[in-house]
Amino acid sequence: MTEKILYLGAEAEIRLSEYMGKKVVQKQRVHKAYRIKEIDHQLISYRTKEEAKLISAARSHGVSVPLLYDVDLTKGCITMEYLKGNRVKDMLNGLKESERRRICLKIGESIARLHDHDLIHGDLTTSNMIYWNDRIYFIDFGLGSQNIEVEAKGVDLHVLMEAFESTHSKYPRCFEVVLEGYTKHLQGDASGVVEKIKEIVQRGRYR
């Protein structure tokens, strides 16, 4: 099949391709001409490895993510499963209230599983969630990290809160329902994370 560019960003090119007879998505990190060549290669290799590790760790803890087929550290390319579902961003507004609530609870549960194992997604938006086979798949861990701090978990969720406010503003309770699912399933201290989100909101107001 002919390769097709799905997304071209500042840090990576996302393309639809084929690997061992399967339709796949490849994330190819972009080289930066302004960086010293050796440092550029090291950074791309390191970031590719770290993202692949986060995806694997998320899967091992029961979070739905694409299967990894190949990780090429030299080229800075991750080859992964193509998910046939829809972006949550594109479908959430069109759902019935009960179904929207169910999806938001699922999102909260998945984030709780990540945070219980100190996995930070780094770019939690409904653009980076795919709904397929009644599961919420998380994609693009390029800004992710492993971090035990409550601050990092609060920031992770605050990013999602802002995404809901901008993309799904007609349904202001969506984020509350996500937090409901998160609080219900988090084995750690959910109240500390919720308080941290409020603190981050206050910081933004007083800038």
Residue 206 pLDDT > 60, yes or no?
no
- Check whether residue 96 and residue 165 sit in a common domain: yes
- Check whether residue 44 and residue 131 sit in a common domain: no
- Check whether residue 69 and residue 123 sit in a common domain: no
Question: Residue 146 corresponds to which amino acid?
Answer: Q
Residue-wise pLDDT for 84-101, tens only, equals: 999 999 999 999 999 999
Tell me, what DSSP letter sits at residue 35?
A: S
pLDDT band at 3 (very low <50, low <70, confident <90, very high): confident
- Check whether residue 91 and residue 40 sit in a common domain: no
- Check whether residue 50 and residue 138 sit in a common domain: no
- Check whether residue 194 and residue 168 sit in a common domain: yes
Residue-wise pLDDT for 127-173, tens only, equals: 999 999 999 999 999 999 999 999 999 999 999 999 999 999 999 89
pTM of the entire predicted model: 0.93
Rounded Cα–Cα distance for residues 51 and 140 (Å): 8
For the segment 116-136, the average pLDDT, to the nearest whole number, is 97
Which of 81, 100, 125 is a domain's end point?
81
Rounded Cα–Cα distance for residues 152 and 118 (Å): 9
Which of 51, 81, 111 is a domain's end point?
81
Residue 98 token pair: 């009960």
Active site residue 134: no
Per the structure, how many domains does the chain have? 2
Q: How many CB atoms lie within 10 A of CB 191?
A: 10
Contacts of 190 (CB under 8 A, 6+ apart): 112, 182, 183
Residue-wise pLDDT for 180-198, tens only, equals: 999 999 999 999 999 999 9
CA 206 to chain CA mean position, Å: 28
- Check whether residue 76 and residue 95 sit in a common domain: no
Which of 81, 99, 115 is a domain's end point?
81
CA nearest to 158, candidates 124, 129, 184, 120: 124
- Check whether residue 102 and residue 197 sit in a common domain: yes
Asked whether 52 and 70 are in contact (CB, 8 A), the reply is no
- Check whether residue 117 and residue 198 sit in a common domain: yes
- Check whether residue 60 and residue 112 sit in a common domain: no
Among candidate residues 40, 90, 118, 123, the one labeled active-site is 123
Q: What is the CATH number of the domain that holds 121?
A: 1.10.510.10
Rounded Cα–Cα distance for residues 103 and 64 (Å): 14
**For residue 26, what are the domain limits?**
4-81
CA nearest to 91, candidates 122, 141, 138, 132: 132
Asked whether 180 and 108 are in contact (CB, 8 A), the reply is yes
Asked whether 116 and 193 are in contact (CB, 8 A), the reply is no
- Check whether residue 102 and residue 193 sit in a common domain: yes
- Check whether residue 111 and residue 191 sit in a common domain: yes
Residue 197 token pair: 């989100």
Residue 1 pLDDT > 70, yes or no?
no
